[in-house]
Structure 1
């Protein structure tokens, strides 16, 4: 059986990860590891983007880069 302090520590780590992931999603920046795991699991024939490519992709999507509808924040 797990020590009470260890269980509390695990719960705290889970909570802080959820809060951080939620904050990243609010600003349009997803979690790279979640993305990479998804691509490897559901698209085994594709290589996931690098972490830098993923970051740039999310930033471009957030600010409408390459979007022909005319939206841009700045």
Structure 2
């Protein structure tokens, strides 16, 4: 069975976002609701800020 164009497109978009460091909010919300229903769902802005802080550890930019 061949994968559909939509499933390939979804995979490609998600892969590109991860390569560029842009987290996938929809996937995170789905995971949170399925596996951690007791936790509140953050807004996109809160989610993005938390992901950026986790990625850069709250430090300024690096030169190298």
TM-score past 0.5 threshold: yes
The count of corresponding residues between Structure 1 and Structure 2 is 62
Q: Give TM-score scaled by structure 2 length.
A: 0.73
Q: Alpha carbon RMSD of aligned pairs, Å?
A: 2.4
Q: Secondary structure at the match of 1:59?
A: helix
2:25 corresponds to 1:73 = no
1:43 is aligned to 36
TM-superposed deviation, 1:23:
1.1
TM-score, normalised on structure 1?
0.66
**CA distance, structure 2, for counterparts of residue 49 and residue 61 of structure 1:** 15
The one of 27, 35, 52 aligned to 1:34? 27
Cα shift readout 1:3-26 (whole Å, capped 9, x = no counterpart): xxxxxxx81221111111011111
Unaligned residue ranges in structure 2 (runs of 5+): none
The structural deviation recorded for 1:63 is 2.4
> Matched residues in 2 for 1:40 and 1:11: separation?
26
Paired residue secondary structure (1:34): helix
